[in-house]
Amino acid sequence: MTATLLDGKATANTIKRELAARVAALRARGIVPGLGTLLVGNDPGSEIYVAAKHRDCAEIGVESIRIDLPATASQEQVNDAIRELNSDPRVSGFIVQLPLPAGLDVVQALSLIDPAKDADGLHPMNLGTLVLDSTGELGTPQPCTPAGIVELLTRYDIKLEGAAVCIIGAGPTVGRPLALLLTRRGVDASVALLHSKSLNVPSRARKADIIVAAAGSAHLVKADWVKPGAVVVDVGITREIDPVTGKSRQIGDVDPAVADVAGWLAPNPGGIGPMTRAMLLTNVVRCAERHQTTSQ
Ligand code: NAD
């Protein structure tokens, strides 16, 4: 591998240390930040993510409140659980772990979250503010994965202003909100947002200074899609059962050979996953700080 590592794990640990100090300051004033999670069903990936989020909370002094519902839960049971988290004073912010089992309405669920407690930044009002607030001055919760990508690139001093960024994958969690964050004033990147119907994806990727692979297609991005020295961020996740261990394992969107061409590489796992969780904690701490300000 010749690419320099964009180490999401180490950067997330730095952010967690910074947050721990803010949590201690809140606790000193009698405020205990709390993250709520709502997990519906037993998707193996989701179970791993939720457990990791609660471990993160324990590390930095954030309380965690967990509601688990069976895969057979009705929309009304899911809605009731969201209302419970909205009104629970221990919960500063919470998430509905996605994906929800088939048959449940994601938009209905996300729309019921109190926007002030929206730790994933996925409430339609907060997503809408992302479009309207071109500078980020309103400080509403940002979607965690796109925010984590921008934060990682920024902390490694990767130049974003004027950079040609090719995002492969125009999904609601990563690609589309990331395009909005990267084109904010003060960030000022130029974005090509590609998807499964886009033409000439390899040659368009090859023109980019920064490639963000967020399609969920295992090893999609090949070495000859990458301009030598470019920055590559591997976000997409495919899960498969390891035939040797029988355990679920995570495969990224970037072919391992890319590491020999790229200048910088955020690997998967170990890149954007930990950054996403660090941004979730950041949103929760901000929710607690904002609540403290508004209730004074
Ligand atoms: P999504 O899964 O809803 O949509 C995928 C997008 O990729 C669509 O726009 C689709 O058209 C495009 N796409 C699929 N195959 C393609 C191909 N061969 N060429 C070009 N485009 C293609 O999107 P999402 O919810 O934003 O999630 C994107 C990926 O990121 C998923 O794999 C998800 O699991 C992953 N993810 C990772 C993290 C992390 O922490 N690393 C966090 C959130 C999401």
- pLDDT by residue (tens digit) across 138-187? 999 999 999 999 999 999 999 999 999 999 999 999 999 999 999 999 99
Cβ(244)–Cβ(259) below 8 Å: no
Any ligand 1 atom below 6 A from CB of 8: no
**Residue-level pLDDT at 279:** 98
**Residue-level pLDDT at 44:** 85
Distance from the CA of 88 to the center of ligand 1, in angstroms? Answer: 33
Instruction: Give the atom of ligand 1 at the shortest distance from the alpha carbon of 174.
Output: 26
Instruction: Give the atom of ligand 1 at the shortest distance from the alpha carbon of 273.
Output: 40
| Alpha carbon nearest to ligand 1 atom 32, residue | 216
* Separation of first and last alpha carbons in the chain: 53
| Sequence ranges of the domains in the chain | 22-116, 144-274
The residue type found at 140 is: T
22-116 matches 144-274 in fold: yes
Pocket test for ligand 1, best of 53, 237, 251 (most atoms within 8 A of CB): 237
pTM: 0.96
Cα separation of 231 and 234, whole Å? 10
Distance from the CA of 72 to the center of ligand 1, in angstroms? Answer: 26
Cα separation of 292 and 271, whole Å? 32
Question: Is residue 296's pLDDT more than 60?
Answer: no
- For the chain, percent of residues with pLDDT exceeding 70: 98
Cα separation of 262 and 12, whole Å? 22
User: Mean pLDDT over all residues of the chain?
Assistant: 96
Pocket test for ligand 1, best of 53, 122, 173, 203 (most atoms within 8 A of CB): 173
Q: Domain 144-274 has what CATH class? A: alpha beta
**Residue-level pLDDT at 295:** 59
Q: Which residues are within 8 A (CB) of 3 and not within 5 positions of it... i.e. 6 or more apart?
A: 232, 258, 259, 260, 261, 262, 263, 264, 265
**Residue-level pLDDT at 294:** 61
CA angle 147, 101, 250 (to 5 degrees): 55
* Fold held by 22-116: Rossmann fold (3.40.50)
61-111 pLDDT tens trace: 999 999 999 999 999 999 999 999 999 999 999 999 999 999 999 999 999
Any ligand 1 atom below 6 A from CB of 194: yes
Distance from the CA of 173 to the center of ligand 1, in angstroms? Answer: 8
Active site residues: 53, 97, 120
Token duo for residue 30: 């009698």
At residue 291 the predicted structure's pLDDT band, cuts being 50, 70 and 90, is confident
**Residue-level pLDDT at 143:** 97
Any ligand 1 atom below 6 A from CB of 261: no
